[in-house]
Amino acid sequence: MYSVRMRSRRHSQHHSGAERLVPSDGVEQVAAAMIRRALHHSRGQAETIELVIDELDSEQIEYAVLPDVQTWQVSDFQQGRRAAAELLCSLGVSPTAVETAFADIIRGAAPNGGNMRGAMLVDADSGGRLEPDPARGVRVSRMDLSAEARRELSRVLQQQNLDREPVREALVLAAKVRMASGIVAELCWSDDPDYTAGYVASPQRGYVRFPTLKPLGDQRGGRAFFVRVDPRSLSVLMDFLQQRPVLFDRIGHLLPPRVWRENSS
């Protein structure tokens, strides 16, 4: 198995990225698809494309199951943000930490006011930022679906018209994040101006998707990992997220959508 990772930049800013774990006979095809993605993205053509391919030790690959998925229907992005904030608080994230994470993503969490290349690490109690590099953040890497799980996930997601690459990729990333020791929850919405959906994921509630967490056309987006961890163990958490290969060979359940109402989580 090989880890294939693509990162691209445009106007000195993060542009797009992709992660796959593939057998040797699929490396060329996957690498070519990633390059096409960077060259034909809705945000324009990438100026710099970095492709990294590493062989993996098969004994180091961890196999796991995807979380359950549920869509919470909301009327607009303001209601979506209220719903996501309420859910995060119910999962044990303090209101201060929730407010801080939302504010940072909305204005641009990187020091220059742009989007971070990775995710924020946010103390679930104080709301303090813990990532060593506030521009790079934490880049979750080396995760994918097995071929059988990919086919089964596509079949199941089709039932709710959700079988799209952004949904599958976000679910796989969130699934790995929730496995890490010390993770309380994750908040995410895309920086793609044409994609308004986002999610809250956690070990407790699985993957809760919101069709809109930002206005259409907004290029701000990002991820916040809410953690409750001894500072001495922070490097262990980061190493798992960035280095440990995880292949999801089983899927969870696709739950019926629900209409969110205030104080109903």
In whole numbers, what is the pLDDT of the chain averaged over residues?
Answer: 93
Burial 66-80 (b: 16+ CB within 10 A, else e): bbebbbbebeebebb
Instruction: State the pairing for strand pair 222-227/183-189.
Output: antiparallel
Instruction: Choose between 116 and 85: higher pLDDT.
Output: 85
DSSP string, 26-61: GHHHHHHHHHHHHHTBTTB--SEEEEEEEE--GGG-
- Provide the pairing of β-strand 198-202 with 183-189: antiparallel
Last residue of a domain, one of 19, 38, 56: 56
Q: Do 127 and 225 belong to one domain?
A: yes
Using H for helix, E for strand and C for coil, what is the string for 2-20? EEEEEEEEECCEEEEEEEE
| Single-letter residue type at 90 | S
pLDDT digits (tens, 9 = 90+) for 126-167: 999 999 999 889 999 999 999 999 999 999 999 999 999 999
Residues 121 and 84 both lie in one domain: yes
Q: pLDDT tens, 167-190?
A: 999 999 999 999 999 999 999 999
In the chain, the N- to C-terminal Cα span, in Å, equals 41
- Is residue 84 located within the same domain as residue 25? no
Same domain for 215 and 113: yes
Q: Is residue 67 part of a domain?
A: yes
Is residue 265 in some structural domain?
no
211 and 83 belong to one structural domain = yes
Residues facing residue 227 across a β-bridge? 123, 183
> How many degrees, rounded to 5, is the angle at CA 161 between CA 214 and CA 68?
80
Q: What is the pLDDT of residue 218?
A: 93
Residue 89 has pLDDT above 70, yes or no: yes
At residue 247, what is the residue type? L
Q: Both 15 and 110 in a single domain? A: no
Q: Do 131 and 239 sit in the same domain of this protein?
A: yes
> Looking at the structure, do residues 50 and 83 belong to the same domain, yes or no?
no
Structural domain that includes position 154: 63-259
The token pair that represents 221 in the structure block: 């987006």
Is residue 116 assigned to a domain? yes
Residue 264 within a domain: no
Residue 265 pLDDT: 53
The verdict on 119 and 78 lying in the same domain is yes
Residues 148, 164: Cα–Cα separation, whole Å: 17
Same domain, 43 and 148: no
Which 3 state secondary structure label does DSSP give 171? helix
Q: For the chain, what's the residue count? A: 265
Which pTM value belongs to this model? Answer: 0.92
Distance between CA atoms of residues 201 and 205, nearest Å: 7
In a domain, 233, yes or no: yes
Q: Where does residue 222 fall: left (phi above 0), alpha (psi -120 to 50 degrees), or beta otherwise?
A: left
How many domains are contained in the chain?
2
- Answer for the pair 73, 259: CB distance below 8 angstroms, yes or no: yes
77 and 19 co-located in one domain: no
